Amino acid sequence: MFASFSNHETQQTCRSAGKRIGRHRSPQNLDFVHSVHKNVSMSTAYVSGRVPARYERLIARQARAARTSKSDLVARYVIEKSLETEFPGISFRDSLSGREAYLTGHRVAVWEVLAVNEETKSVEKTATHFHWSRVLVTRALAYAKAFPEEIRKSREGETDTVPVAG
């Protein structure tokens, strides 16, 4: 089973990358294929890997349930899992503005921690506000610092809408 994934905008790029891989060695003979093809204009890259067939079927089923393409779902899994590894304690969930980062095992989004910290101007006071240890706050703030645009969009998506009732 050969599974490949990419942003759908880069499918043309992926196809050409696949041909390049094929010239050197058949994908069927590889246990793992990792190929990154930089596309400067779109700022996306191509990554592919082999998985046991049962996982391909599982992902296909999950993609149907989520009403998205298999490649988009796998791309999301790769991005989120790599970020969860890079930023321990951060997970992702659905929100009105798309996927949003939140503190694993808690109900608080990263943008909410940032918002409180902007009021308290102190990690210590923010930790006291949530009744958390400092490390949870610093984890959230580290993620917010690394992805300010994503956090800004999450925050705007949650707070710039009209309430459903008065």
Partner 1 sequence: MKERPTQSRLLADENTSHRLVSACRRLLKVFPIVHIASWQDGSWLGLDDAALLISCAQAGLVLVAFDRATLPWHAGQVLRAGENHGGLVLFRRTVRSTAYGDQARLLTDFWVHEGHAWDWVNRIVYLPKSP
Q: Which residues bind partner 1 (CB under 8 A)?
A: 93-97, 105-109, 112, 115-116, 119-120, 129-131, 157-159, 161, 163-166
Kindly tell me which of 60 and 115 has the beta carbon lying closer to partner 1: 115
Per the rule left: phi > 0, alpha: psi between -120 and 50, beta: everything else, 43 is: left
CB of 103 to partner 1, least distance (A): 9
Q: Cα–Cα–Cα angle for 100, 111, 77, nearest 5°?
A: 20
Length reported for the chain: 166
Kindly tell me which of 88 and 166 has the beta carbon lying closer to partner 1: 166
CB of 162 to partner 1, least distance (A): 9
Kindly tell me which of 89 and 157 has the beta carbon lying closer to partner 1: 157
CB of 80 to partner 1, least distance (A): 16
C-alpha distances in angstroms, 85 versus 8, 44, 56, 81? 25, 20, 22, 6
Kindly tell me which of 65 and 96 has the beta carbon lying closer to partner 1: 96
CB of 104 to partner 1, least distance (A): 9
Nearest to 103 by CA among 95, 93, 116: 93
Q: What is the DSSP string of 102-152?
A: EETTSS-BHHHHHHHHHHH--HHHHHHHHT--HHHHHHHHHHHHH-HHHHH
Kindly tell me which of 101 and 109 has the beta carbon lying closer to partner 1: 109
CA 4 to chain CA centroid, nearest Å? 17
CB of 130 to partner 1, least distance (A): 7
